[in-house]
Structure 1
Amino acid sequence: MIEFMGKQLKNPLIASSCIATESVSNVLRLAENGVQGAILKSCADYERGKVSGKREFAVDSTTGYTYASAPFGSEILTLEECLDLLHVLRPQTDILLIPSFTAASLAPDKWIPACKKIEEASADGIQLDFFYMGNLIGTNGLSESIVTLLRELGAALNIPVMPKLNINLPKDFIMPLLVEGGVQYVSLLDSVRSPYLRRENGVYQISERLDADTTSCFGHWQLPLTIGYTYTAAKYGLKVCAGGGVTCADDVQKLLATGAVTVQSATYLTKYLNRGNKLLLI
């Protein structure tokens, strides 16, 4: 048995925040297939307006790269949608339910009220999604802002918070700050912004235009990055929910051997869940 966020897990597999964790039916299917927890699709405290554009998800069969493109309003759940999801799911499953929340800045007052509502909806923990804030490195007072946010969230909540890292927060820079901020858990590694995805005559192609605001690239090539972040986080005593490039059981074993406590997957689960297949990782 594996202990994570106060629960005993039969195996280490957690579903990442992705298409596979944005609906009740998807999360319940994951639970039926033995997934021990779900990091729900990221939400923000905003009102959804008229959304321009739509989400695209494609796998390049030649290279194996996976691309996803979406405007913020299509990609991110509202806080109320997340709370509704929790209220319906909690009576139906006892797997770990970890909502993911993002905000426009690191100011604690942009995070604490929403995170308290998520806690009241019976979440087991909260992932802090820094991905949608862009590249924070170089921001004045960044280190102090991160530590202050983590400490104030820790004081305001009775459930753990788990920052979600990306390569814009270098591992040797961010891990000491997480420890100083008092967190125990860390989630990694998020996707990387990539060339823009477009569709012509039913075929996905990669445009020469770069659109850093909407398009992400993820897949097996991320695994070495994830291993590096996992090793560093474990060295600092953090409990790692490692992911980014996980496509088979061997990848899971590599991350566990590197120091991860649990392992998360998005690409694999999204592809296979949407095809109606049984999961093959466990």
Structure 2
Amino acid sequence: MIEFMGKQLENPLIASSCIATESVSNVLRLAGNGVQGTILKSCADYERGRVSGKRDFAVDKKLGYTYASAPFESEILTLDECLEMLRTLRPQTEMLLIPSFTASSLAPEDWIPACQQLEAVGADGIQLDFFYMGNLIGTDGLSGCIVSLLRELNTALRIPVMPKLNINLPKDYIMPLLVEGGVKYVSLLDSVRSPYFRKTDGIYHISDRLDAESTSCFGHWQLPLTISYTYTAVKHGLKVCAGGGITCADDVQKLLAAGAVTVQSATFLTRYPNRWSKLFDE
């Protein structure tokens, strides 16, 4: 058995925030396939307007790249939608439920009220999704802002928070700040911004429809980055929920060997929604 965020898990696999965790039916489907923990699709405290554009998704199986792009309102749940998901799920399942929340700044007042609401309806922990805030490095007083936010969240909540990192927050810079802020758990590694490629007549070209700044690229090539971040986090005493391009059981074993407590996957789930058990059966 594995203890993570107060839950006892029979295996270390957790469904990462992705298409597979954005609805009640999807999460219950995962539970029925043996998944014991899930990070819900990220949400934000905003009012959804008329959505323009659509979610786009492509896989290059030969090169191992996966690309995804969507307007913010197609990609991100509203806080109300996530709260309703938790209200519906909590009476139906004992699985580890970790909503993911994002805000537009590091100001505690932009995070604490929403996180308290998520806690009140049954969250076991909360992932703090810094991905949608862009590149924070270079912001005046960034280190102090991160530590202050984490300390205030830990004071305001009874459940743990788990920052989700990306390569815009260098590992040797951010890990000591998480410890200073009182964090015990860390989630990594988020997808990387990249141009979106299309294949026409056997030739790849950058799409002229999708903005590279709004496009995520993820896949097996991320694994060395994730392993490096995992080693650094473990060195600082953090409990790691590692992920980033998990495509087979061997990838899971590598991250567990690097010191991760649990391993999350979005790439595998998105590409093979009915084959999740392959990761832990092997």
Q: How would you bin the TM-score normalised by the shorter chain?
A: over 0.9
Partner of 1:170: 170
d(CA) in 1 for partners of 2:54 and 2:204? 16
Moved segments of 4+, more than 2 Å:
196-201, 203-206, 208-213, 276-279
How do 1:122-161 and structure 2 match up within 5 A? Answer: 122-161=122-161
49 and 228 in structure 1: CA distance in 2 versus 1, 3 angstrom threshold: same
Matched, 1:72 2:76: no
User: What amino acid is the match of 2:211?
Assistant: D
Task: Please list every run of 5 or more consecutive structure 1 residues that lacks an aligned counterpart in the other structure.
Answer: none
Q: How much identity, in percent, do the aligned residues show?
A: 78
Matched, 1:18 2:18: yes
User: What amino acid is the match of 1:79?
Assistant: L
Partner of 2:206: 207
Per-residue CA distance 1:258-281 (angstroms, 9 max, x = gap): 0100000001011111xx446310
d(CA) in 1 for partners of 2:97 and 2:178? 22
Matched residues, number: 279
Name the TM-score, length of structure 1 as normaliser: 0.95
d(CA) in 2 for partners of 1:79 and 1:278? 28
Tell me which moved more, 244-253 or 160-169: 244-253
Contact 1:136 1:168 in 2 (8 A): yes
Partner of 1:32: 32
Tell me which moved more, 176-185 or 32-41: 32-41
Partner of 1:117: 117
Task: Please list every run of 5 or more consecutive structure 2 residues that lacks an aligned counterpart in the other structure.
Answer: none
Once the two structures are TM-superposed, the CA of residue 64 in structure 1 deviates from its matched residue by 1.7
d(CA) in 2 for partners of 1:170 and 1:206? 30
Once the two structures are TM-superposed, the CA of residue 35 in structure 1 deviates from its matched residue by 1.3
d(CA) in 2 for partners of 1:94 and 1:208? 43
Once the two structures are TM-superposed, the CA of residue 197 in structure 1 deviates from its matched residue by 5.0
d(CA) in 2 for partners of 1:138 and 1:94? 42
Contact 1:59 1:67 in 2 (8 A): yes
Tell me which moved more, 52-61 or 186-195: 52-61
Partner of 1:264: 264
Tell me which moved more, 177-186 or 28-37: 28-37
d(CA) in 1 for partners of 2:103 and 2:17? 16
How do 1:84-103 and structure 2 match up within 5 A? Answer: 84-103=84-103
User: What amino acid is the match of 1:207?
Assistant: I
- Match of 1:17, SS state, is coil
Per-residue CA distance 1:205-227 (angstroms, 9 max, x = gap): 65266834310000000000000
Name the TM-score, length of structure 2 as normaliser: 0.95
User: What amino acid is the match of 2:24?
Assistant: V
